[in-house]
A and B are shown apart, each in its own frame.
Chain A
Amino acid sequence: MSKKIGESLLLWRKIVFLLFFLVVFIFSGLSFYRSRHLAEPIVLGDGVSRVVRLSDYFSGVKNSINNARVYVLGQDEDGGSVLILGGSHAEEPAGRLAAWILVENALVKKGRMFVIPTANPSASTSTRPGGAYPPDYSIKTPWGEQKFRQGDRWSNPLDQWPDPEVYIHYPTRQQLAYMDIRNHNRTWPGRPNGTMTEKTCYAMTQLIIKEKIDLVIDLHEAELQYPVISTIVAHQKGQDIAALASMMISSEEGFNIGVEYSPTALRGLSHREIGDHTQAIPLLLETPEPFLDATRGRTNRELLLTGKDEFVMKAGKHGLLFEKLDEKGWPIEVRVGRHLSSIIQILKVWSELNPDRPVDLEGVPHYRDLVQNGVGFYLKDPSKAPSDRVFYE
């Protein structure tokens, strides 16, 4: 009799434990699923002539999450062509938001502009819970709030795993950190039979070659304790453009930006490999993002969007920062505005130096406009747009 009672108790205990487990599993699973599948609406502006996929340039990414959308603005094939990459590192939101504003607002009168707002879609579906990253953030707009995925630096391990002991870069065979095999900005120029991230870069390299892209602008953000910050990183082919654009930005846009030369010994980066393996001139833009600094305090949405952090400021007082940080922080509108004004000036300089292949851009807000009106002012309301002009990233 007592044995039966004991067995019954054991059974009930297991049932209770299993129910508890199921509640935790469903709750966490739903949370992760919603975060990974959050749909971000992007409204096609009047300047968008067509939307294609990366698989149109390389079929190897067709069934992959990284079959990113490419928004094409302008149709003048006689002019120059520029490719803008946002979200190479998805946890650097200024790049994605700047690309978003271009798709929704820009008009390309001469030449063509290709915009990929989410260059590594897989990385945008993963965050760093160990680093206390929030899963998403919202931008206030005149019509409500628009939510974006926070993302991470590396492709989601759900899509590419496991990592090797050492990542050997193709084709140089340089040894890099193991996790950088999932880093979109360490896998250029990519390879057709490589990992998902390498295939993504390969597809973009094919796009650059097939569309005869002249300029590639890769939008990034950096921690303030990193020396490559508030700068244009230029391949040697683009040194003149970067230097001239830097001067124009300082005199016309109201902020300063430096120029760094792409090191020849550091492989896999867009500003090195695109220049070495294609006809295009690659430039990489960095804005300051205190959210990424190792000495930051609470890692929340507020820090991401305001760039205010007392601990990073304290590091600055000890001379540990390569960019200033005060009580004003580095708000998202300042960072996005810097990217947009830099793009405007780079294209101006390009068009002046190459009058036979100009890229003439209109309708893009400048740094001062962003500082005055905020980012949300330039995001379009998807509920008011025709359904065939709304896409989801």
Chain B
Amino acid sequence: MSSIINFLYYLMAAFFSVCFLVNFRKSKKWQEELVYLLALLPFLLRVFHLK
């Protein structure tokens, strides 16, 4: 069970990473773009099993 939850957590991290990237692409304000990239960093580190 815990392995399944762990796997779902990685899927969730990947989903939010994609959301941040889509929003980054759509945004026209530089402040928003920076926020999306900053927020993306920990999610991507988790998806790639780095931190």
Residues of A within 8 A of B (CB): 10, 13-14, 17-18, 20-21, 24-25, 28-29, 32-33, 36, 158, 160-162, 194-196
Contacts and interface: CB of A to CB of B under 8 A. Distances in A.
Interface in B1-51: 2, 5-6, 9, 24-25, 28, 30, 33-34, 37, 40-41, 44-46, 48-51
A17 B6 contact: no
Contacts of A32: 45, 50-51
B41 A25 contact: yes
A12 B25 CA distance: 12
Contacts of A162: 5-6, 9
Contact of A160 (B2, B41, B49, B51): B2
Interface class of chain B by DSSP: helix
A17 B33 contact: yes
B24 A14 contact: yes
Contact of B2 (A28, A33, A36, A195): A195
Contacts, number: 47
Nearest to B8: A162
A158 B49 contact: yes
Contacts of B6: 160-162
Contacts of B33: 13-14, 17
Contacts of A20: 37
B30 A25 contact: no
Contacts of A33: 50
A14 B37 CA distance: 10
Nearest to A158: B49
A19 B5 CA distance: 33
Closest 8 CB pairs of A and B: A21-B37, A32-B50, A32-B51, A29-B50, A195-B2, A17-B33, A158-B49, A33-B50
Contacts of B37: 17-18, 20-21
B40 A13 contact: no
Contacts of B44: 25
A49 B34 CA distance: 57
A160 B1 CA distance: 12
Given A10-B28, A17-B34, A160-B2, A29 B45 contact: yes
Given A10-B28, A17-B34, A28 B41 contact: yes
B30 A158 contact: no
A254 to B, nearest CB: 43
A13 B30 contact: yes
A322 to B, nearest CB: 35
B45 A25 contact: yes
Nearest to B1: A193
Contacts of A196: 2
A194 B2 contact: yes
Nearest to A194: B2
Contacts of B51: 28-29, 32, 158
A21 B45 contact: no
A330 B2 CA distance: 40
B25 A14 contact: yes
A13 B24 CA distance: 11
